[in-house]
Chain A
Amino acid sequence: MSLLYFFFAILSILAIASAIITITSKNPVRSAFALVVHFFMLAGLYLTLNAQFVAVIQVLVYAGAIMVLVIFVIMLLNLTDEKRLNEKFNFRIILAILFGIAFVAQIAFISFAKNPLNVNLHQNSATIGTAQSIGTALYTNYLVPFEVVGILLVVAIIGAIVLAKRKVN
Chain B
Amino acid sequence: MQSVPMEFYLIVSGVIFTIGTIGVLTRRNAIIIFMSIELMLNSVNLTFVAFSAFLGDIAGQIFVFFIMAVAAGEATIGLAIVLALFRKKQTVYVDEANSIKW
Contact = CB atoms under 8 A, between A and B. Distances in A.
Given A16-B19, A54-B65, A134-B61, A125 B56 contact: yes
A81 to B, nearest CB: 10
Contacts of B80: 159-161, 163-164
Centre residue among A31, A77, A86 by max chain B CB count within 10 A: A77
A18 B49 CA distance: 21
Given A85-B26, A134-B62, A138-B62, A49 B53 contact: yes
B68 A57 contact: yes
Describe A's contact surface by its main secondary structure: helix
A169 interface: no
A19 B20 contact: yes
B70 interface: yes
B14 A107 contact: yes
Given A104-B18, A152-B70, A42 B42 contact: yes
Contact of A104 (B9, B14, B42, B64): B14
A105 B9 CA distance: 15
A16 to B, nearest CB: 6
A35 B21 contact: no
A42 B46 CA distance: 8
Contacts of A123: 1, 56
B53 A77 contact: no
Interface string A98-119: 0110011011101110001111
Contact of A19 (B14, B16, B95): B16
Interface of B: 1-12, 14-23, 25-29, 31-32, 34-36, 38-39, 42, 45-46, 49-50, 52-58, 61-62, 64-66, 68-77, 79-84, 86-87, 92-93, 95
Given A8-B8, A69-B75, 19 more contacts: A28-B31, A28-B32, A35-B38, A38-B39, A62-B42, A65-B72, A70-B35, A70-B75, A95-B25, A96-B26, A100-B21, A119-B4, A120-B1, A133-B58, A134-B61, A152-B69, A152-B70, A159-B76, A164-B83
